Amino acid sequence: MVEYGNFDPETRAPKWQLPAGSCDSHVHVFGDRERFPVQPNAVYTAYDATVHAMRRTHSVLGIDRGVIVQPTAYGTDHSALIDALSTAGSGYRGCGRVDDSVTDDQLTEMHEAGVRGARFNFHPRLTASRLSPERIRRAIERVTERGWYFKLQLVDMDPDEVTALFDDVEADIIVDHMGPLQYDHGLADPRFRKMLNLLQRGNWWMMLSNGDKRAEAAGHPWNDAVAYAHEYIQQVPTRMLWASDWPHPIRPVPVPNDGELLDLFARYAPDEATRRQILVKNPQEVFRFADISNEITAPANDEDRD
């Protein structure tokens, strides 16, 4: 197991001011290693990526809201996620992992803590976290009953292997990290066209994250990622989300400063109205945040969690 602690702790502010209520729609945090041990087969850990470090990073960046996603290192033990949400406050939601081992009582506890989504991970380096189609369908049924959304990690795979399992799902479905793109194929990439078609359905969403990481072969300033993001935004701006993927796990090289990642997003969305749509309005809809005029930044009680 590799311990990734590869976020830049010297966060700098982006070169532009984020709108109030901006959301980082995908981060991971780790709790105290004694209280919250990771799974024996964990691919990575990042124990310095605490909820407090995440909040400090967001404060410098100008981010008020966020979604804490269950790291694969914890499996389906959501104790650390629940603890982090209690500290982060009402401006944060959670996204967990659901399979047959998660009981109904545990789902209720997660919901009360602020979890509103379930993630299915198909990353080629995280094969231990993959579920069979039958187990995915059982999880879909259970999660749908609670009104949660679904979150799919499809990097480096043919999306048709997975997306057909969700053809009859009416709940919101978020695709992570700009989808399973083949960056050297350009905008004609059939996987990209598949994503655009799914986004037209009205309940599919795209996470504009990891553009720098996925375009790494081309290097800075990641123009190929910008080209994809421009097309996504032009086609379906009301279905776009942005995320840092802090603390940037499973990455063997130093990541850019998080302020630089927001400057990359500014290249995706040059105008103020589009930025607000993606950073504020869209996450407010899919993650069920309170209206920005009523947002509470102090730690939330159960009533604040919808």
pLDDT at 297: 44
Q: Is 152 helix (H, G, I), strand (E, B) or coil?
A: strand
pLDDT at 4: 58
E-assigned strand segments in the chain: 2-3, 23-27, 44-45, 65-69, 92-96, 115-121, 149-153, 173-175, 204-208, 240-242
181: phi then psi, degrees, rounded to nearest 5: -75, 150
Residues 211-249 pLDDT 10s: 888 765 656 788 889 999 999 999 999 999 999 999 998
Q: How confident is the model at residue 305 (pLDDT cuts 50, 70, 90)?
A: very low
The Cα–Cα gap between 80 and 215 comes to 32
Q: Does residue 278 contact residue 240 with C-beta atoms inside 8 Å?
A: yes
The Cα–Cα gap between 137 and 122 comes to 15
Residues 102-126 pLDDT 10s: 999 999 999 999 999 999 988 666 5
DSSP state of 7: S
| Buried residues in 80-105 as b, exposed as e (16+ CB within 10 A) | bbbbbbeebbbbbbbbbbbbeebeee
Amino acid at 282: N
> How far, CA to CA in Å, does 74 sit from each of 28, 129, 176?
11, 10, 19
Residue 128, pLDDT > 60, answer: no
Residue 12, pLDDT > 80, answer: yes
Q: What is the DSSP code string of 264-292?
A: HHHHH--SHHHHHIIIIIHHHHHTTPPPG
Counting residues of the chain whose pLDDT is more than 70, the rounded percentage is 89
User: What predicted TM-score, i.e. pTM, was given to this entire model?
Assistant: 0.92
> How far, CA to CA in Å, does 272 sit from each of 266, 269, 291?
9, 8, 19
The distance of Cα 196 from the centroid of its chain, to the nearest Å, equals 19
- Any idea of the CA torsion for 241, 247, 249, 255, to the nearest 10 degrees? 90
Instruction: Out of 32-46, 240-254, 288-302, pick the least confident.
Output: 288-302
Q: What angle do CA 125, 129, 132 make, to 5 degrees?
A: 115
The Cα–Cα gap between 192 and 186 comes to 9
Extract the tokens encoding 238. 């009301």
pLDDT at 256: 86
Q: Is the peptide bond before 247 cis (omega within 30 degrees of 0)?
A: yes
Residue 267, pLDDT > 70, answer: yes
Task: Residues 22-289: name the CATH superfamily.
Answer: Metal-dependent hydrolases (3.20.20.140)
User: CB 196: neighbour CB atoms within 10 A?
Assistant: 17
The Cα–Cα gap between 142 and 100 comes to 10
